[in-house]
Amino acid sequence: SQQGEEDPQALSIQEGENATMNCSYKTSINNLQWYRQNSGRGLVHLILIRSNEREKHSGRLRVTLDTSKKSSSLLITASRAADTASYFCAADQAGGFKTIFGAGTRLFVKA
Amino acid sequence: SAVISQKPSRDICQRGTSLTIQCQVDSQVTMMFWYRQQPGQSLTLIATANQGSEATYESGFVIDKFPISRPNLTFSTLTVSNMSPEDSSIYLCSGGTGPGGELFFGEGSRLTVL
């Protein structure tokens, strides 16, 4: 299978709460990226973390990377109803040119 | 950044026919990829579209079924040949400016095969 795993598969929270999504991947990577997809739309890039980085912030987003465990997490703080979407991690394989996507987490933020 | 346009955005096709999806990028990108996404599922990489040469296919995808062209840096096509209902899916074109960089995505082409 191409894909890594993400958990949870689905997450429902109240507006204002934090949302944490986890991702595991299978191969050595150069970078790990996170994307968002609104229903019926294409994917939008959120953040990229390099293999030599452990944590990165962008606005309300915080990403961590543990290359020894081949895992990453995305934290969205102070969630909003507009954050409702599917979130995918994507691993850029070391020594290659392709990006492999995880299974995705469907986030639903209730107003 | 790059803006990627795909067409058609959706189509309903008959079994046994073929459909070509076009992907146009508004600026030059080094890499172009084609992904397939079943509704509610993740993306599966079909192939890397190489300019002026044969595409590089992933395991489980073959050129006879999914011929791909990329005549220049800003345009690519994916054909889904001899379609069956199992080919019903969303097909996404993406482009990037280098290995391991941000990918830009089209809105996808939703294909239904009857």
For the segment B15-38, what is each residue's pLDDT rounded down to a tens digit?
Answer: 999 999 999 999 878 889 999 999
Facing B33 at nearest CB: one of A2, A88, A98 = A98
Average pLDDT over residues B39-62: 92
Average pLDDT over residues B46-63: 93
User: Residue B44: pLDDT band by 50, 70, 90 thresholds?
Assistant: very high
pLDDT of residue B67: 97
pLDDT of residue B28: 79
* Residue B52 or B92, more confident: B92
Domain count, chain A: 1
pLDDT of residue B95: 93
Domain count, chain B: 1
Facing B107 at nearest CB: one of A42, A88, A99 = A42
Classify residue B81: in a domain, yes or no.
yes
pLDDT of residue B98: 76
**Is the Cβ pair B104, A2 closer than 8 Å?**
no
Cα separation, A12 vs A22, whole angstroms: 15
Query: Exposed/middle/buried for A15, CB within 10 Å: 0-12, 13-18, 19+?
Result: middle
User: Residue B52: pLDDT band by 50, 70, 90 thresholds?
Assistant: confident
Cα separation, B99 vs B114, whole angstroms: 38
Contacts of B106 in chain A (CB under 8 A): 42
Q: What is the pLDDT of residues B72-107, one digit of tens each?
A: 999 999 999 999 999 999 999 999 887 778 899 999
Domain with A18 in it: what CATH number? 2.60.40.10
Cα separation, A100 vs A37, whole angstroms: 15
**Structural domain containing residue B85:** 8-96
Classify residue B85: in a domain, yes or no.
yes
Domain with B35 in it: what CATH number? 2.60.40.10
User: Residue B113: pLDDT band by 50, 70, 90 thresholds?
Assistant: very high
Facing A103 at nearest CB: one of B31, B42, B107 = B42
**Is the Cβ pair A99, B103 closer than 8 Å?**
yes
Evaluate if residue B70 carries a pLDDT over 90: yes
**Structural domain containing residue A27:** 5-110
What parts of chain A have a pLDDT lower than 50? none
Cα separation, A9 vs B40, whole angstroms: 11
Facing B45 at nearest CB: one of A2, A30, A44 = A2
Q: Does B45 touch chain A (CB under 8 A)?
A: yes
Q: Does B13 touch chain A (CB under 8 A)?
A: no
Evaluate if residue B2 carries a pLDDT over 90: no
Contacts of A100 in chain B (CB under 8 A): 45
Q: CB neighbours (10 Å) of residue A82?
A: 10
Contacts of B40 in chain A (CB under 8 A): 106
User: Residue B109: pLDDT band by 50, 70, 90 thresholds?
Assistant: very high
Q: Does A95 touch chain B (CB under 8 A)?
A: no
Q: Testing the interface with B: which of A25, A86, A99, A107 to mutate, by most B Cβ within 10 A?
A: A99
pLDDT of residue B1: 79
